[in-house]
Amino acid sequence: MVLLTIDLIAKSPKHFKKKRGLSLPDYLQTLTHLHFSSRNIEDIGDLSMCRNLTVLYLYDNQITHISNIGFASNLTHLYMQNNNITHIDNLSNLQKLSKLYLGGNRIAVVEGLEQLPELKELHLENQRLAPGEKLLFDPRTLASVAESLSVLNINTNNIDDIRDISILKELQYFSAAGNKLHNIEELQGVCSHWPQLLQMDLRGNPVCKTAKYRDCLITVCESLEVLDGREINEVTRQFLINWKASKEAKKKNSKHMLPGPMIPYPVINDFNSSQGPHSHIQHRASVQQWRPQHTLRAKPFPTPVSGLLTHAAVPTAQCSSVDA
């Protein structure tokens, strides 16, 4: 097993050249950056003499646990992607940690970040999870970084719901490509809590196939500059925002319009009101049977004067046909 220790640092050709006559303890105190990536390291030993470390590179190794780095109170950047880490722990003393890279590990729950008030970037992409598992978030951790986190990368982690992370109101860069997000309404609701969001990448999610997907997100995220790798044209954004506002205004106005009064029967003059309470039904029937005739001035009557007496009793239907 390869263990990262003071002796391993001392034997490293790269660090040996920088030592230049200094004693080992003095040299270790001058170290601010420690590069030990791709060394098959499985565990971290006692490095407490490197108390001034600010950046630690341990990516592409075989580390299974985050341990023995609590001494590094000045650490700002920690690179531990592509290891075999299963839990995020032992970071509580890293009060100045700003960037944490843990992509490509075996982490199933995002936790253990409650004591990191300065954390601004969190990279958790491509976790090697068991079949059926998805990356989950501890609410306590989310609440603790809600005021500081501005960059979050959770690509390819089988995630189908991101409502929990809507609490991260300081987000400016969000990447969740290659997941299983599918609900455009939920996505819009989450994005409405991120007023400072500048870039977002959701490529490879089912939601991207939703009609008007891009338009919907542009109108919700008014500060968004890049969506799925494509810049947002300011003219297009303003048009969509104005269109949405106009549509909502019309919808609001339509709700205030009241329907007209309903009239159950035609309005008629009831001259026989003394016939009783159902007299209006009889009058309605009589009105429906009566058809007004066109005046004789509209079209001369074709029957000669001598035949008026003969044709005086012409049926109503025949008169209608002639006048038409």
| Tens digits of residue pLDDT in 298-312 | 444 444 444 433 444
| Sequence-distant (≥ 6) Cβ neighbours of residue 156 within 8 angstroms | 125, 126, 177, 178, 179, 204
Query: Comparing C-alpha atoms, which of 46, 47, 48, 43 is closest to residue 66?
Result: 43
The range of the structural domain enclosing residue 194 comes to 181-251
Local structure of residue 92 (DSSP, 8 states): T
28 vs 123: CA distance, rounded Å: 29
- 48 and 103 belong to one structural domain: yes
User: What is the rounded average pLDDT of the residues 250-276?
Assistant: 53
Q: Is residue 282 part of a domain?
A: no
* 193 domain-assigned: yes
**Pair 228, 124 in one domain:** no
Compute the distance between CA of residue 75 and CA of residue 12 in angstroms, rounded to an integer: 21
Q: What is the DSSP string of 46-68?
A: --TT-TT--EEE--SS---S--S
Of 22-31, 149-158, 176-185, minimum mean pLDDT range: 22-31
86 and 216 within one domain: no
Query: Is the domain of 227 the same as that of 124?
Result: no
Domain-terminating residue out of 251, 266, 283? 251
Looking at the structure, do residues 56 and 140 belong to the same domain, yes or no?
yes
- Considering the chain, what is the average pLDDT of its residues? 82
The tally of domains found in the chain comes to: 2
**pLDDT 10s digits, 230-243:** 999 888 787 777 76
Window from 128-142, 247-261, 305-319 with minimum mean pLDDT = 305-319
Q: Is residue 267 part of a domain?
A: no
- What's the confidence (pLDDT) of residue 316? 42
At 109, which amino acid appears?
A: V
Band (pLDDT 50/70/90 cuts) for residue 21 is confident
Shared domain check, 191 and 134: no
d(CA 36, CA 242): 54
Mean pLDDT computed over 92-110? 97
Alpha-carbon distances of 291 from 102, 318, 319, 324, rounded to whole Å: 88, 13, 11, 13
CATH number at residue 10: 3.80.10.10
Same domain membership, residue 107 and residue 55 = yes
pTM of the entire structure? 0.75
What is the model's pLDDT at position 193? 96
pLDDT of the residue at 238: 78
Confidence check: pLDDT of 292 > 50: no
Residues 14 and 104 in one domain: yes
Query: Average pLDDT in the 54-80 region?
Result: 97
Last residue of a domain, one of 209, 228, 251: 251
pLDDT of residue 259: 57
